[in-house]
Structure 1
Amino acid sequence: MAYFTIPIDLAATIYIQAPTLPKADAKLQKILGKPLNAVDSRWFPDAPLGCYTLPEVSIAYAMMIRGRTPNAKCEAIDWAAIAEALIPNPEGRKSKVIPRSRDFFSDGNSPVFEADLTVHASAFIKADDVEMANQLFDETNWTTVGWHDLDGWFTAAGFDQEYNYLPVVFSPNLRIIGITPGIELEQVWPDGEEAEYSEPPRKPSLKELERVREIDLVANRLRSHLDALGGGFESLPDIKVHEVAALLIDYKNKRMAESRWPHSNR
């Protein structure tokens, strides 16, 4: 068996919270043409519209495979190049692309705007020869790439047909090309979307909002320190940095409650 690669196009839906369409578009322009780390879960929260857990900017939990990029050819590739391409690029993390974007943006009342994006990816195919690789890719009835199965789509495990139904995987290093023509940015919530929910989303308490804002603040500072530190710490996923920030805050609060937290004399 040999390995082959082919550039492909994906369709992704982006959700942006903003008070107006022009402000939503300004946020969208900041990510066009930028890298997208497919294994950074902060991009793909799978939170419902109108919920306080919906980030300021997020991408739908699944992408549709449109097919090969126009005029793209299937070419042979060696395993070393695939292994390198499967390493997530930290430049595509959400904290790098839009560093000030918040995970908890509002209490669920902000308008949500939606657009369809074209995203480029590199597909890797395991086949006997280039003809079989082309046939496998072009004749497959593609549906969606789902983030519920990251290992199957974005790691070498996906080549194992006992794990994945096709010997095809994608590099996690995607790139946002632009807005799909004819599917421009438009408001999708609250206009009509409330009917999807039997009950309105629970609004967070002031204490909960203060906690998530504190976690965001500490996580952003940790991210900056880890990136500067190097030595592999810069590759720690943002979601793990947020988990560490939450643990530090919980520890601080516990020590303060026990009156053991050091206080400044100033």
Structure 2
Amino acid sequence: MADIFEVLLDKQPSWFFQLSSIILTIILGICAVWVFKGAKRYYQAVDKENRIVTLLEEKNTLYKDNNENKAITDQMCVVLENSTTFIKALNDSNNNDVATQIQTIIESLATDIKNVVGERHRCGYWVADENGQYLSLVNGSAAFPHGYVNSRTLDINHSIAGRCYRKNETLFINDVVNDADWVFSDSPSSYTSLICVPVAHWGVITIDGKQKMTHNTVLISKLYASIIEGFMNKLLLNLSHSQNDSQNEAAAGYANDADEGGGNDEHE
């Protein structure tokens, strides 16, 4: 069979081989074009699929960012509304119940800093003693154990809140265990992150969190700390006025007694 094909090819003219080469080249060229177009279409399909996946990922990211920004906006609206109420109470000359107002602010702070449903924080207001040795918990949110308020103290020289008070600077600590001033509590809890905000020379606000907190929490805490500072200054002003009034009443009473005594002498 091979001999037959060999004989047939030997009898073919030279132009046959030239024409066959041209036809074969054309066929290979056509096949190459088809392969190229097929590869191009496949690449375009894969690229389109990749772009769709990328667009879906970007959509999900934007959706997540939008929800986070909406949550932050709603949170700030609540904070502004509550702050407005507190400032009005601060400017109300007839409202002198400072302790109740500060407790309301602390409870509101524990609620307003939540970013996630079910998230729990513990907020407290600690006041320094006259000797500058201890911070006493005078106002606390509901998350504090029963009996802590008005009985719990922190050493100003050996505690994180004390360092905040001494340096008069805000502290934002994600893991208190790694802080040099952290002291193991006699009632361990699952609170690990801590924010401390100084309230002028009066004391410190502390916020304990079970998860890492955000910078927005620091900003809200500073705002509420400034309002508490205003109430503390108002308390000091009220005490000053009360002392002046008492002194004036005593002086007036003394003057009246003196006048009455002088009148009796004249009669005599």
TM-score calculated relative to the size of structure 1: 0.22
Greater fraction strand: 1
Question: Is the helix fraction higher in 1 or 2?
Answer: 2
The TM-score normalised by the length of structure 2 is: 0.22
Q: Which structure has the greater CA radius of gyration?
A: 2
